Chain A
Amino acid sequence: MSEAPLLQVDNLVTHYPVRRSLTGRLAREPRLQVHAVDGVSFSLARGEMLALVGESGCGKTSTAQTILRMVNSTAGTIRLNGTDITRLSQPQMRPLRRKLQMIYQDPYESLDPRFRVQDAVAEPMLVHGIGRSRAERRDLVISALERAGLAPAEQFLERYPHELSGGQRQRVTIAAALVLGPDLLLADEPVSMLDVSVRAGVLSLLDGLRRDGDMGILMITHDLSTAAHFADRIAVMYLGRIVEQGPARDVVRNPQHPYTRALLSVVPHRDPRQRSTPQILQGETPNPVDVPPGCRFHPRCPIAEDRCRREDPVLRPPAAAAAAGHEAACLLA
């Protein structure tokens, strides 16, 4: 039985033009592009959590924004449940937005400070015309809050955001996303602004949701430890491309791309006795305006060879033994 995957992204490209100054335009300076997303392909099935991992500037947030259609892609396709949503207009996207929701990083900014919890969670229903009466909507709000782990839900209905902790606010945002019954949840750094002691609760909630609710979750994070622990699959991004992807366990224990290896080596461990030898790369990630030719990682790569300057590698299964579905974009892998 071949059913279309929940989310299928093929060769997605999103470039932002860099605005030229007036003098620049008069001098006919070349038009520069920010290659935020430069050819990304992956798929996400129901009940699966894929972590999109990378440093700042790698394009993970832009990828999410493009999938959400808040930003227009330059090329490539996005398919949600088999439907091509790449070029749909905003009015056409509206009914589909019920199936596609996003959780944002900052719980302190995600909620309108003037909206009570019940208004915040009920709003999506009002926008999409769900629920025929106040009472019905109230019931749906309560069940969404309980699914998000805020119980007893009645106690939270009348509260304002500033009366809630960061973790509680994030759960309210999740409840507001759940109330529409989405198939796909995009979570942009859902816990990075929460205290350590609260993170696991929210992440377990997301984990439980995708299992029970048969949802797919695309989690964007810079925290490899979190990704390794909670995600089924990890995709490592660098300068707008996925350089390695595969089952989380395998990517973390058996990295095939030199960037992944370096990244994993510098993640600090909580056990002070486990001090790995960090492979600290020189410099910082280059500007996405200026993508190096050939393999985009070659200027910082510890094992770069001559051909890496000329050939641009594609994602393919590595030569060394690796789990099924594990791919790396390296000429030497």
Chain B
Amino acid sequence: MTLPLQDPQLAVEAEGQPSTRGGFFRSVLRERKAAVVGLSIIGFFVLLSIVAPYISPYSITQQTCAVYAPPSGAHWLGCDDGGIDMLSELMQGGRISLVVGFAATLVAMIIGGGVGILSGYFGRWIDIGLMRITDYLLVIPDLVLMIVIADVWGASLFHVIMVIGILEWTSTARIIRAQVMSLRERVYVKRTRALGASNARIIWKHILPQVGPLLIANTVLTIAIAIYLETALAFLGLEDPTVTTWGTILENAFQRTAISSGAWWAIVPAGFVIAAVIVGCFLFGQAVEDALNPRLKAANLSVHRWRLRPLVGRGPDAI
């Protein structure tokens, strides 16, 4: 029964703002520098990975320099324990790391998004059942389970992708479920149901587009976690050692006494790029999540105040 509180400035602002998903991301990029920085970092590494085989200066399978040779004009980042050029290794190792990260995230998103939507939309027994499964997986320590699985079924990239994917969907599921539950109560959803629309149609046309941005934000954040986990697994020696990823670079360096040899170039660059990608994902993902939050106007907590203007003359021509 209440009339909407018409804030005159909201009325003006609301005009002409695009509602399409593309428009939303464009406005996030426009308004938040962090999002631009994050996306640029991710983009840079993706691009680098794609062109890596064509631009890496040396081969990564053949020795081209001395063991632990320090950085020099020929080898910008020096060489590792096998005499292989560090820079080339980083470039090409990034391909696998990113592929594992993205693939594992894709698995996690499909499961998490699906569980979240089904749980949130249908409620009752489906919700209870799915949430109990979620809880069960949530409390299992990720790394320990991954170690066990990698140990039992062998170390391969495919296993790593599946394991990360199957364990990382839980928090996404909860977040999506919460949003779907509130969306389900929106008037336009109820209206469409009263029309006789099928559940499939409502989910596909009305719910999914609305949870899209949140799902994407979550996806990006999960990529960061997946890359980190891949690194951890590789570092613990649970990944295929014949494959070169950033994680195996670190693992090799550690195993082959790079630190005591003083060969920082075998460790620091790899760690740096991993951190950079994770930071990039976080910056972009957080920016999108913040943008999705209802406006958090801390106006009254601001140190600024409303301003007083002097009146110039009176009557209709004043100010």
Contacts and interface: CB of A to CB of B under 8 A. Distances in A.
| Contact between A and B in the complex (any CB pair below 8 Å) | yes
Interface of A: 68, 70, 93-95, 97-98, 101-102, 104, 106, 108-114, 123-124, 127-128, 160, 162-163, 166, 173, 189, 192-193, 195, 222
Nearest to A113: B19
Nearest to B1: A192
Instruction: Determine which residue in B15, B194, B197 has the highest number of CB atoms from chain A within 10 A of its CB, and name it.
Output: B194
Interface in B176-223: 186-188, 190-198, 201, 205-206, 209-210
Given A127-B198, A195-B3, 18 more contacts: A70-B194, A101-B194, A101-B195, A104-B190, A106-B187, A109-B186, A109-B188, A110-B191, A112-B206, A113-B19, A114-B209, A123-B197, A124-B195, A127-B197, A128-B195, A160-B19, A163-B16, A189-B1
B260 interface: no
B20 interface: yes
Contact of A162 (B17, B192, B196, B205): B17
27 contacts: A95-B196, A97-B195, A101-B194, A102-B191, A104-B187, A104-B190, A109-B188, A110-B191, A112-B188, A112-B205, A114-B20, A114-B209, A114-B210, A123-B192, A123-B205, A127-B196, A127-B197, A127-B198, A128-B196, A160-B19, A162-B14, A162-B15, A163-B16, A173-B191, A189-B1, A193-B3, A222-B1
A186 B240 CA distance: 65
Nearest to B15: A163
A93 B1 contact: no
A195 B3 CA distance: 8
Nearest to B193: A70
B73 interface: no
Contacts of B2: 193
Contacts of B19: 113-114, 160, 162
B4 interface: yes
A97 B194 contact: yes
Nearest to B2: A193
Contacts of B205: 112, 123
Nearest to A116: B19
Contacts of A124: 195
Contacts of B16: 163
A5 B2 CA distance: 35
Nearest to A180: B195
Contacts of A192: 1
B1 A97 contact: no
Interface size of B as a range: 20 to 34
A328 B198 CA distance: 42
B188 A110 contact: yes
A70 B185 CA distance: 13
A93 B191 contact: no
Contacts of A128: 195-196
A95 B194 CA distance: 12
A108 B194 contact: no
A127 B3 contact: no
Interface in B3-29: 3-4, 14-20
Given A104-B187, A113-B19, A193 B4 contact: yes
A193 B4 CA distance: 7
Interface in B24-48: none
A192 B2 CA distance: 8
A123 B14 contact: no
Contacts of B192: 112, 123, 127
A93 B20 CA distance: 34
Given A109-B187, A193-B2, A68 B194 contact: yes
Contacts of A162: 14-15, 17, 19
The residue in A95, A127, A128, A222 that gathers the most chain B C-beta atoms within 10 A of its C-beta is A127
Contacts of B197: 123, 127
A105 B1 CA distance: 8
Contacts of A112: 188, 192, 205-206
Contacts of A193: 1-4
A136 B191 CA distance: 24
Contacts of B191: 102, 104, 110, 173
B187 A93 contact: no
